[in-house]
């Protein structure tokens, strides 16, 4: 079968340089399944799919790019996996990511960084870097990622791919290894907006195993939405921190949108300076609590089992987790501790509410809010990783959607210095299908 053999040949040729996969399945196995699933039928009958390595796959190792879970093989599938398998998809492998999805460049992976197929000196963004790189490299057209603060959109943008962070509650998180529950969603990354819509429609929907899900049925082929009369707000005060080259690509596309009849206006999001601090305080707090279960007794790396529990846990966690994960567990535990809880955590929640209120008021004037997805071009490997604050800062545009539960798409709109540039479109809560319809239209303009 050419489809499978060509894909594996390409991976053999290119992936030693890119390293999109942590676990690549055996070609014979994949071939066998492709044949079976084609006969079985479904919307994705025999289509190869790359899956981020924090989404549980029965019988396939799921590491979260951590030494802590290096040998972990889940006994069950995440709900999204059951859904794609039912439609005939075949998982080709598990993709590289930042350890436990903590990072923006796929450099915190225990297995080493993924490189950007457009320029191997650069990162593919993160944390779903392997998923987006596997699309840019031409291995697959569809991939699953997760987005807590931009982890689908950042890599989509840096790889010239399409990515959707769905409205909170539209996609089940059952089987997603939790990082920050109140912020994250699983979502699709794809080579074009039609595939993006298709994959989203398959994974969306209420799930009794995730009480935060709501009933939502997404169209698998949303109608193309022309821009005429669309009220578009450009958030000017988050644009100020974007590279000039990116702004100029962005201006090109907004001009084209105006030519198509969109009413494009500059607007300001108040209190935007609170977004990153509140995101990181909340994300780290939730992370410290979620990651408590990895102690080498209940779950995870367990080389040490001598001494008292404190010694055992500390040694296993000390060796099993990488630097960035430890930093967040420490900060998160500090933030949540008695005496500091009100000062940091509660204040972060208040800031989150304030941002939500301000976003709502913008959505009373605009149908969508747009900005560059990322304020910078893909960083070079090593450029931001040693400076966490610098790394956190590139998430400014993307964290807004996670803090406020709304949908956001990143779509490619051009190139600067031969590197892909993405535009982010945010919409009202549950306007996912609408955003996909708009993105199908804009795709034709670029």
Binding residues (CB under 6 A) for ligand GLN: these are 101-104, 127, 147-151, 179, 283, 395
Nearer to ligand GLN, 44 or 275 (CB): 275
Read off the DSSP letter of residue 213.
-
Q: Which residue is nearest to ligand GLN (CB)?
A: 151
Is 127 an annotated catalytic residue?
Answer: yes
Q: What is the helix, strand, coil percentage profile of the chain, to 5?
A: 45, 15, 40
Beta bridge partners of 165: 408
Q: Among 295, 293, 287, which residue's Cα sits nearest to residue 320?
A: 295
Least distance in angstroms from the C-beta of 105 to ligand GLN = 8
Question: Which alpha helices (H) appear in 273-342, and where do they start and end?
Answer: 275-290, 309-320, 323-336, 341
Task: Indicate which residue of 56, 127, 146, 439 is catalytic.
Answer: 127
Is 52 an annotated catalytic residue?
Answer: yes
Helical packing angle, 193-203 and 79-86, nearest 10°: 110
Task: Indicate which residue of 52, 67, 83, 94 is catalytic.
Answer: 52
Enumerate residues 6+ apart whose C-beta is below 8 A from 88.
37, 38, 40, 41, 42, 43, 44, 45, 46, 47
Distance CA 412, CA 439 (A): 10
Distance CA 106, CA 32 (A): 31
Task: Indicate which residue of 151, 157, 197, 242 is catalytic.
Answer: 151
Cis ω for the linkage preceding 127 (within 30 of 0): yes
End-to-end CA distance of the chain: 34
Nearer to ligand GLN, 149 or 205 (CB): 149
Least distance in angstroms from the C-beta of 133 to ligand GLN = 16
Question: Which alpha helices (H) appear in 235-274, and where do they start and end?
Answer: 236-239, 244-259
Q: Among 201, 241, 267, which residue's Cα sits nearest to residue 393?
A: 241
Place of tokens 């949540």: 336
Beta bridge partners of 416: 419
Nearer to ligand GLN, 69 or 253 (CB): 69
Least distance in angstroms from the C-beta of 178 to ligand GLN = 11
Distance CA 249, CA 418 (A): 12
Nearer to ligand GLN, 224 or 376 (CB): 376
Distance CA 255, CA 234 (A): 12
Nearer to ligand GLN, 66 or 148 (CB): 148
Nearer to ligand GLN, 7 or 128 (CB): 128
The answer to whether residues 367 and 438 touch, using CB atoms and an 8 Å cutoff, is: no
Nearer to ligand GLN, 103 or 169 (CB): 103
Report residue 390: phi and psi, to 5°. Answer: -65, -40
Distance CA 405, CA 426 (A): 11
Is 361 an annotated catalytic residue?
Answer: no
**Would you please indicate which residues are annotated as catalytic (active-site) residues?**
52, 127, 151
């Amino acid at each position: 079968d050419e489809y499978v053999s060509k894909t594996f040949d390409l991976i053999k040729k290119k992936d030693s340089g890119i390293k999109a996969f942590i676990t690549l399945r055996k070609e014979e196995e994949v071939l066998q399944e492709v044949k079976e699933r084609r006969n079985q039928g479904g919307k994705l009958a025999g289509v190869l799919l790359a899956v981020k390595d924090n989404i549980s796959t029965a019988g396939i190792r799921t590491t979260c790019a951590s030494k802590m879970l290096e040998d972990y093989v889940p006994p069950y599938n995440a709900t999204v996996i059951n859904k794609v398998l039912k439609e005939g998809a075949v998982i080709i492998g598990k993709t590289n990511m930042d350890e436990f999805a903590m990072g923006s460049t796929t450099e915190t992976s225990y297995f080493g960084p993924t490189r950007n197929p457009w320029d191997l000196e650069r990162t593919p963004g993160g944390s779903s870097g392997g998923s987006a790189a596997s699309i840019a490299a031409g291995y697959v057209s569809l991939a699953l990622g997760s987005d807590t603060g931009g982890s689908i959109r950042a890599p989509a943008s840096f790889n010239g791919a399409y990515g959707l962070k769905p409205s909170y509650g539209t996609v089940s998180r059952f089987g997603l290894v939790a990082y920050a529950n109140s912020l994250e969603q699983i979502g699709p990354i794809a080579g074009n907006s039609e595939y993006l819509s298709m994959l989203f429609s398959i994974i969306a929907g209420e799930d009794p195993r995730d009480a935060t899900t709501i009933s939502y049925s997404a169209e698998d082929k949303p109608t193309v939405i022309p821009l005429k009369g669309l009220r578009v707000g450009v958030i000017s005060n988050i644009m100020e921190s974007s590279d000039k080259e990116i702004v100029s690509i962005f201006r090109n596309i907004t001009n084209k949108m105006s030519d198509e009849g969109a009413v494009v206006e500059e607007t300001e999001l108040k209190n935007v300076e609170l977004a990153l601090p509140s995101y990181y305080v909340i994300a780290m707090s939730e992370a410290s609590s979620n990651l408590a279960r990895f102690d080498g007794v209940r779950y995870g790396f367990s080389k040490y089992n001598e001494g008292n529990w404190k010694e055992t846990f500390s040694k296993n966690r000390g060796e099993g987790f990488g630097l960035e994960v430890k930093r967040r567990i420490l900060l998160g535990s500090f933030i949540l501790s008695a005496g500091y809880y009100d000062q940091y955590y509660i204040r972060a929640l208040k800031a989150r509410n304030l941002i939500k209120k301000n976003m709502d008021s913008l959505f009373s004037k605009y149908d969508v809010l747009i900005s560059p997805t990322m304020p910078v071009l893909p960083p070079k490997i090593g450029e931001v990783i040693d400076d966490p604050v610098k790394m956190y800062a590139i998430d400014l545009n993307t964290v807004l959607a996670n803090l406020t539960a709304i949908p956001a798409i990143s779509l490619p709109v051009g190139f600067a210095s031969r590197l892909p540039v993405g535009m982010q479109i945010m919409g009202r809560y549950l306007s996912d299908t609408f955003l996909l319809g708009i993105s199908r239209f804009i795709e034709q303009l670029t």
